[in-house]
Copies of this chain bind each other. A is one copy, B any other.
Amino acid sequence: MEGREARAGSRPTIADVAAAAGVARSTVSRAMNREHTFYRSESAARIRAVAESLGYEPNPSAANLRRRQTNTIGVLVSRLTDTVMATLYEEIASACAARGYHALVATTYGDPGLERDNGHTMLASRVDGLILTTATTEGGLCTELLERGVPHVLALRAYGSSPSVTGDDALGGYLATRHLVDLGHREIGILTGPDEAPTALARREGYRRALAEAGIPEMPEFVYSSTFSMESGEAAAEAFLGAARRPTAVFAVNDNTAIGFTSMVQRAGLRIPTDLSVVGYNDIPLVGRLAVPLTSVRVPFREIAAAAVDSLLDQVAGRTGTGSGAARVVAPTLIPRASTARPPVREPAAVSEG
């Protein structure tokens, strides 16, 4: 009850616990860490009880310093206000927690420079590894990580030989388009997404495959360029509305784009799905609750997050086990909703009547 008693403001240290329990500090340390076999002993439990009664909590800075690792991983996302990124990060954080790790997040705002800077900042704070979700066709930070041998995984994106976990975007694009084909559509447009985004490219590839399979030629005039934003969806809608000829259905690479597009088209007086069917991608919670619930492609973010974390921790632990370092791809699912229906009956124009 003296001497090693903790001073007023400061928290008890391992030495306080050792003194109170009448053992050496190293013994306390072993009693606190699952890694040691001693952890499971009865006296270890007693020591932990003492620790708890003192309100002792190990100082992670000290432990990290000594252990030479932080048990923390960094996650780079474009924006947290993007529901897709927020969802993915929540799942990553929870996967980390389940494995005794911490997650740290930083935003890149789609800027490769910021991606690099924030990646370096996280590395400077000694994260054990990085999950990147913002890689473009240019590679950016991940090339450097590869060279430096820093453990990292790409999620929702793939590039070069970096390990990655992605949704099967080509399949998703195929499912979306196939759904429209099955409904009887023959004139199917696409909002393409940005050219630098491999995901967008892959979804478009799936779109092409579904069209080809159905023997439908791809119509360049039904291709509307866009980025992933709602604004670009609106811009695409203007192109759509202003064109001489319109498709009866549209596949948007992304829910946001679909929302912007749909809203603008509706404002112009078209009815969804009566006049036009629309399919989105990602199935963010919102789209199921719009005035016209949106058919969308659901991506298993939880599974992707878990796989990415597993792969990363494998690298951190040095066991680049089965399939780590490789590219893992998980399949998406189509969720049909009210925004898609059979195509409108065309006015009985010059169809085999001439």
> B-contacting residues of A (Cβ < 8 Å)?
10, 57-62, 64-65, 68, 70, 79-81, 83, 86-87, 89-90, 93, 102, 104-107, 123-126, 230-231, 234, 259-260, 262-263, 266-267, 285-286, 289-292
Contact = CB atoms under 8 A, between A and B. Distances in A.
SS of A interface (majority): helix
B87 A81 contact: yes
Contacts of A62: 61, 65
Contacts of A124: 57-58, 60
Protomer copies:
2
B285 A263 contact: no
Contact of A90 (B64, B81, B93, B266): B81
A-B pairs, 5 with minimum CB distance = A61-B64, A266-B291, A80-B86, A61-B65, A263-B291
Nearest to A284: B81
A231 B259 CA distance: 19
Nearest to A106: B93
Contacts of A102: 125
A234 B289 CA distance: 9
Contacts of A267: 291-292
B81 A107 contact: no
10 contacts: A60-B61, A61-B62, A61-B65, A61-B126, A65-B65, A81-B285, A102-B125, A105-B105, A234-B289, A263-B291
Given A79-B90, A81-B86, A83-B81, A289 B260 contact: yes
Nearest to A9: B149
Contacts of A86: 79-81, 86
